[in-house]
Structure 1
Amino acid sequence: MELTLIPSMWETNQLIVRDLQEAEIGDVQALYFQGSYLGEWDGRTYDSDYITQCFTTGDIPPGGTKHHFKIQVLRMKESHKIIGLLATYHGHPSSDVFYITYFYVDQRLQSQGLGREAMEQLLQCVKEANYTEIRANVAIKNWPALRFWTSLGLDRIQGVFGDRTHSSQSFADVELVKKL
């Protein structure tokens, strides 16, 4: 079955979302670095080549292909300023599943509704592409993200992954699911 990918460019009231261009890698890597504080919640360390890797080879699951991966930037319509990034995988773990691998909005613009606006439109794009569910992996310690995703309807837990014991140095994630 051939997967339908979300559009290379789509819009919301305030945002233009489109595939990352090579000339934007440095700016988007800086935005990714801004979110490195998330490592306190998910145990990951900052990867100085993450955006380049996403652009060239993708952030793909085992057995996946670059063709099914997208990294997109969120820009304000008025200023054209890059304010966020979205990495997704089409068709994992099955062909009817759309997976959000990373989503981040500039820390100075969080809690202003821009992330919600982008995700509500993304949900519409995913439905139009005939996926039956959408998934996101969220660190259990990332309370703001858990509230955000569950408020969008990703409120079924598919699995819990990570450390089995609790400590300040242990980490785990939940895979959240919304049926479409």
Structure 2
Amino acid sequence: MEGLQTPRLVCMAVTPAHFSEIFSLYQRNQALLALLDHEHDPAHLATRFVRKANVPLGGSVRQLSKVVLFSPDQTKIRGLCSVYYGYPEPHIAYVGELFFAPDAQRMGLGRELYLALEAQVRVRSMQAVRVGVGLRNWNALRFWIRLGFVHITGMSGARDFTPQAYAFLELEKNCTP
């Protein structure tokens, strides 16, 4: 994903210098983060993102692409994204995170970025893209379903429903012609 550009976004590989901007991004989305997972501390999440700490078991950091999304003039952070190429199978790209600043949401930037990412996935001859979506994140569920992620490939979370319980759906979109 590094170097990927759309008309309104520039993807730059994450570096430790981006920590404060990523921390701020998570902090401004704290209400949403609290709905998604028991781990929602902005400092912890920013550290994990910068350090590329969430590689799948048995995976390689070389297959993980984490980028910070900037406006074309590269002065304003708009969001962040992580994609693991080859998980859980070699022909699948897995979007681990796609997160936008509150002032960059509902502007079509996510769709714009995803369509560019899907084109890149096709060039790599990958057959599908998967994403995990928190069940409480209705806007994200609508977003991914509208993009064609209609196959449920997995479900995880608490076995019992409580106001503090978390659950996720794993959705897939086929990218073969």
Q: Same fold (TM over 0.5)?
A: yes
Any unmatched runs of 5+ in structure 1?
A: 1-5
Work out whether 1:136 is the aligned partner of 2:131.
Answer: yes
SS class of match (1:92) = coil
Number of positions where the alignment pairs a residue of Structure 1 with one of Structure 2:
174
Q: Are 2:18 and 2:50, in contact at CA under 8 Å, matched by a contact in 1?
A: no
Return the offset for 1:178.
Answer: 0.3
Summarize deviations over 1:36-63 as a string: whole Å, max 9, x none: 2223322323231333333334311111
Work out whether 1:50 is the aligned partner of 2:42.
Answer: no
Distance 2:108 2:94 in 1: 22
Matches within 5 A, 1:2-41: 6=1, 8-41=2-35
Work out whether 1:151 is the aligned partner of 2:174.
Answer: no
Any unmatched runs of 5+ in structure 2?
A: none
Distance 2:162 2:44 in 1: 29
Work out whether 1:118 is the aligned partner of 2:113.
Answer: yes
2:160 to 165, 174, 179: 165
User: Which residue identity does 1:21 align to in structure 2?
Assistant: T
Distance 2:69 2:112 in 1: 11
TM-score normalised by the chain length of structure 2: 0.91
The match for 2:172 is: 177
Distance 1:26 1:118 in 2: 23
SS class of match (2:29) = helix
TM-score normalised by the chain length of structure 1: 0.89
Distance 1:153 1:164 in 2: 28
The match for 1:83 is: 78
User: Which residue identity does 2:171 align to in structure 1?
Assistant: L
Distance 1:113 1:12 in 2: 12
Q: Show structure 1 runs of 4+ deviating over 3 A.
A: none
40-49 vs 125-134, greater mean Cα deviation? 40-49
User: Which residue identity does 1:168 align to in structure 2?
Assistant: P
130-139 vs 58-67, greater mean Cα deviation? 58-67
71-80 vs 132-141, greater mean Cα deviation? 71-80
User: Which residue identity does 1:90 align to in structure 2?
Assistant: Y
Q: Are 1:89 and 1:101, in contact at CA under 8 Å, matched by a contact in 2?
A: yes
- What value does the CA root-mean-square deviation take over the aligned residues? 1.6
